[in-house]
Structure 1
């Protein structure tokens, strides 16, 4: 039924007295709340965003900039400075890391960066639980399988070996019941020839020691029906251990064509503060060739991975592999240097396989002269892409420093990481 008339009248009179005050207070509260919220949102732009780059050092309140200097108040919440410090450290880390990682060209790098490339011709060894025909595995029997290489150039061979071990590492008798190699073909192409493999433990051929429980076989595609096959050759080996049947697969990538060959002639030259190795090659098929080599120091320690990626014309050519001067100086290499284990291939675009292999140069290829370290340049590598990236990262770093210095001029800037990364 509502309030009695007298109470309704009293209520109306009450709101008439306090209404304007309440409305004003409420409006002021809303304005202050809105200003505070918008300030908080503006004070925390995403690091690296356009808003962060354009943020003013002070804070804006009702259209004016308040740095807090006159009142003695801090210019903004402590979180604001923490975010600016974080932005500066991120910009500094990005600049320093990129500058440090590109001091040497990509064609002359410390070999520690690619440990899998140190000994490319070492056998590939894998140990797995015995895989049975049903698809299950027997963890009590470990099968150690190895192959001498994965990529094969024309005329090269590959050896496979198998050995069975129990959980204590003791050799178990293993008998190969069937072993064949066949090229993998796709739908619509003619099936490749199937070649039988002969595994033995007689100390001959691929088998290192007779009677040690390891059986081995050799695949020489050029001497079989796979001589012209270009692609992946899969060897399937079925065996028996303790009356239980198992199987293992080996894959190799074979290149029957010979796009170029090495002549065996190598020379060195100290040029532009770096040491260049020149390897002569007879190129049969013009195109882009990718060549890699390993460099050891005088102590025999693997030191660098050197490479080239150049277009070669048909006929006599020299492939240059550069040992960058600053890399020698920074790591205080012991000279003379030895170039070893060189491999190369013709790169094919939009083709499978995407390469035609050159015969590899295994082991020592060339040993240079004992040049003194001061003969090499200590200058960083320079390139168009590196200069462009350093310029952009430098702009980001300068902007971050300026923002933090403008926000809190009295506080020192955080130390740069450049010195740390340069000494790694």
Structure 2
């Protein structure tokens, strides 16, 4: 299976090629950019022929032709420069700006929407505020749900929970799972932080219920009354009943090949491709990088390497030492549903680096055969487009490039 790095690079290349293809398709409908001019017809010359055809171009046609060539030159330049910039770090070590949705994986998922009533209708007079602590649950983990009702002015609408049950979602001939009743309360205990604020909370711990062996999506349905109407809310989580591997708690760091690596020891019970993600903050607590491991592991004691790429460190200049936090992961299961078995998550700070300086950290860009190949092809397209524009209108200067790096 291709690595995540390969998939990212190939995906980026396909996106650029698709954009270029759309431009060329439009250009072919108007005037081919790279097609050689047709031989001149016998007899007298006609106005409207391109300058390369030896005739005199109508000013409007010539301007349109130059506009096409200029647009093509700018597009190929943008493609080359965007890939050059976007691939200077490896996929397994990216700045937080590229992965803003992964910065805080353990924050609750909150929503607000109109109250849903029977029959699929909604009531805009009552808004329901909901929260769930997580979407994916590894074996032994629990999830907290909460809901609260307000009106359009944000004022609390009294709510009464009438029923709350959780059940595994099955399809086709699969046997239905047991229904598990959940208790929702507003007493300031358990998952409810404040008593009497009309926010009701409940907890689902599948491993302690009849759903302990279920693998897949568990749906919790909560029925309630608010504002004189009967409504319902749905909460979905994806549960893994088996741990394919377990963390030992041992972590080490190493400055290798100009990059800082964190090694987390893992006892692998089921072999296969593991995907692990960790977040890296600087010494001030500012999110700095997202580090990912994506590789095949055999059974036994193994190490998961999370890399902070050297150039990323030199470019961003984080306050040292760095801190690894909020590590999660899973064993990928291909061509089945669900497609993963979850690892137990490591919440909060996992490891504090002892590296106090940038000594030994490299500022070299990431290199690979794939990156070189893509840059070479994009550079050829860029050079050809600019040469075409220069040949068509040598009196005009070429547009400046979007990047200062030389063509490859």
**Common topology (TM > 0.5):** yes
- Secondary structure of the residue that 1:172 maps to in structure 2? coil
Cα distance, 1:101–1:49 mapped onto 2, change above 3 Å: farther
Question: Is the 8 Å Cα contact of residues 182 and 192 (structure 1) preserved in structure 2?
Answer: yes
Pick which of 98-107 and 129-138 moved more: 129-138
How far residue 375 of structure 1 moved from its aligned partner, in angstroms, is 3.0
Query: How many residue pairs were aligned?
Result: 375
- Secondary structure of the residue that 1:373 maps to in structure 2? coil
User: How far does the alpha carbon of each residue in 1:365-411 deviate from its partner, in whole angstroms, 9 at most, with x for none?
Assistant: 11112432353211111122211111111111111122222233343
Q: Report which of the two structures shows the higher radius of gyration computed on alpha carbons.
A: 1
Cα distance, 1:407–1:62 mapped onto 2, change above 3 Å: farther
Given the alignment of the two structures, is residue 403 of structure 1 paired with residue 384 of structure 2, yes or no?
A: no
How far residue 237 of structure 1 moved from its aligned partner, in angstroms, is 0.5
Given the alignment of the two structures, is residue 282 of structure 1 paired with residue 267 of structure 2, yes or no?
A: yes
User: How far does the alpha carbon of each residue in 1:81-121 deviate from its partner, in whole angstroms, 9 at most, with x for none?
Assistant: 33222221111111111111111111111112222211111
Between the aligned partners of 2:42 and 2:93, the Cα distance in structure 1 is 59
Give the corresponding residue for 1:164: 149
Between the aligned partners of 2:167 and 2:278, the Cα distance in structure 1 is 31
Give the corresponding residue for 1:301: 286
Give the corresponding residue for 1:55: 36
Note the 1:231-270 alignment, pairs <5 A.
Answer: 231-270=216-255
User: How far does the alpha carbon of each residue in 1:191-235 deviate from its partner, in whole angstroms, 9 at most, with x for none?
Assistant: 101100001111111111111111111111111100101111010
Question: Is the 8 Å Cα contact of residues 329 and 342 (structure 2) preserved in structure 1?
Answer: yes
Question: Is the 8 Å Cα contact of residues 59 and 67 (structure 1) preserved in structure 2?
Answer: no
Question: Is the 8 Å Cα contact of residues 128 and 143 (structure 1) preserved in structure 2?
Answer: yes
How far residue 158 of structure 1 moved from its aligned partner, in angstroms, is 0.6
Q: Which runs of 5+ in 1 are unaligned?
A: 1-43
Cα distance, 1:60–1:382 mapped onto 2, change above 3 Å: farther
TM-score (norm 2): 0.86
Question: Is the 8 Å Cα contact of residues 27 and 68 (structure 2) preserved in structure 1?
Answer: no
- Secondary structure of the residue that 1:222 maps to in structure 2? helix
Give the corresponding residue for 1:22: none
Cα distance, 1:211–1:409 mapped onto 2, change above 3 Å: same
Q: Which runs of 5+ in 2 are unaligned?
A: 1-24
Cα distance, 1:70–1:175 mapped onto 2, change above 3 Å: closer
Between the aligned partners of 2:110 and 2:271, the Cα distance in structure 1 is 36
Give the corresponding residue for 2:106: 121
Question: Is the 8 Å Cα contact of residues 31 and 65 (structure 2) preserved in structure 1?
Answer: no
User: How far does the alpha carbon of each residue in 1:41-83 deviate from its partner, in whole angstroms, 9 at most, with x for none?
Assistant: xxx9927999522436x99575999669999x99x82333332
Given the alignment of the two structures, is residue 188 of structure 1 paired with residue 173 of structure 2, yes or no?
A: yes
Between the aligned partners of 1:402 and 1:133, the Cα distance in structure 2 is 66
Question: Is the 8 Å Cα contact of residues 59 and 66 (structure 1) preserved in structure 2?
Answer: no
Between the aligned partners of 2:41 and 2:233, the Cα distance in structure 1 is 74
Given the alignment of the two structures, is residue 220 of structure 1 paired with residue 205 of structure 2, yes or no?
A: yes
How far residue 262 of structure 1 moved from its aligned partner, in angstroms, is 0.6
Between the aligned partners of 2:174 and 2:32, the Cα distance in structure 1 is 59
Between the aligned partners of 2:401 and 2:377, the Cα distance in structure 1 is 17
- Secondary structure of the residue that 2:128 maps to in structure 1? strand
Give the corresponding residue for 1:18: none
Question: Is the 8 Å Cα contact of residues 33 and 68 (structure 2) preserved in structure 1?
Answer: no
Give the corresponding residue for 1:371: 356
Question: Is the 8 Å Cα contact of residues 264 and 280 (structure 1) preserved in structure 2?
Answer: yes
User: How far does the alpha carbon of each residue in 1:270-310 deviate from its partner, in whole angstroms, 9 at most, with x for none?
Assistant: 11111111000000001100000111112211111110111
1:291 is aligned, of 273, 276, 280, to: 276
- Secondary structure of the residue that 2:34 maps to in structure 1? helix
**RMSD between aligned residues:** 2.7
